[in-house]
Structure 1
Amino acid sequence: MQIPFEPVILGYNINIHLVLEYLAFFIAFRYYVYLRKHSIDVISGSNRLSIILGAAIGALIGSRLVGLLENPFVNWTQANILNLLNTKTIMGGLFGGLLGVELAKKYIGETHSSGDLFVFPILLGIFIGRIGCFLSGVKEFTYGKETSSIFGMNLGDGLLRHPTSLYELFFLILLFVFLKYLQKKATLKNGDLFKVFMLSYFGFRFCIEFLKPNVFYVLGLSSIQILCVICWLYYYKFIFQKIKNAR
């Protein structure tokens, strides 16, 4: 199979990344509905709907904003503006969705943690979306730097690059298994599973960014890496509490 993978159906070129992106949203939501149906949810249906709406709005704003910050000094031509409007990143979506949920909960007066039910659907959605990123090769800015290691792959430009999307797929499988084990074996407070997911995923993305050809840095860090640091700071109380408990 050649990458970028661009299947032709009935004479039309199919954007495989876009197809898998929409499929990721659909399957992840159906998985969420299944999990909620087979679990005890202390949050009412109306409040849960408000939380989902807050998450969606926050994710939409966050994904676009962080996507823009990845290259804030781009020339503001008409073509570039259209590209920027379509630029988005899952990292901004996750953190923006988190803030959107917290604002929605504060507005409706909901005090229970709501994130645990979203963890595995989010993981599944990211996994499906990353397959699309990998199949899109250099047409999606998720590819890695050039490398002479055995992991190098031709992602469409004739150069051997780190297949960072493929690395992430393997990580997501391991994280899914680890969180399932943690959910069954560990004694977790409501909301802890989501916090572990966020810290683990943002930690991975902080590291993998060093393998990507980013063009904008602040203090030697990309915009995504700075967001990762902000996420860790956001959960600093949780981190310190777990370190204290471990001691």
Structure 2
Amino acid sequence: MASNSRQPAKRVLAPELTSAHTQVEGEAEDEDTNPPNFLVLPSGAGANRVLMVGVATEIDDVGQDDEYLRLRCSDPDGNVFFTYAGQYSKGPKATITDLEVPSRVAVIGKPKTYEQEGDVFVSLNPETVHEISEEEYNDMVLEAAEATVERFAGEASSEKFETLAQSAHQESERVEVYDRCVEVLETLHEDMADDPADDTFSEDELEQKDYDELRALASEFDSVSGNAAADDIVSALAGEPRPA
């Protein structure tokens, strides 16, 4: 009998999703199920399903014979990811059709790689698309940033996918992805700050601050997350959890 279990959706930021370019086949649970495919994330984890949030900025019909909608989303730092919905994604397609742009959305879906003019790109086959509030959007961006930092720190990665990530990406590429994800966190802080011009810092400036200074910087997130996420992120930043 086929299993109805699904891989958990990983919270991923756009810079990491779009920097990935390798998919591998996992192991089937039994002979009646198809093996899951995993996108090898630069942080050293495998993602069969992902949870992404962004601001929907464009909806286009890119189909030839049948309607095939492309949803363009961007994160707080302007990084872009795409979701495609056609006849086999009727629920998400209906939601996308009714969206007004710009609007904040949360997308759960399966990442899919495809080649175009020799380059590899990643898009999402959506399972669900939901419009969310600004508060939910900020909270979910923060949670994705925290999950990303934990993966790069080795707390949420796996030996198998870490080895695959090292093979698929040069160290400099992985550091660049990490830095871009941290920039998303900084931009979210800037958007939330009362005076963003005085409250934003470069990565070099962050690295020169001690824990208490970093904790004060991240305190803005407490009102959004409602948990200890700010402490966790600051601890990770202070420890410089970058790929070895």
**Could you tell me the TM-score, scaled by structure 1's length?**
0.31
Which has the larger share of helix? Answer: 1
The structure carrying a bigger strand percent of its residues is 2
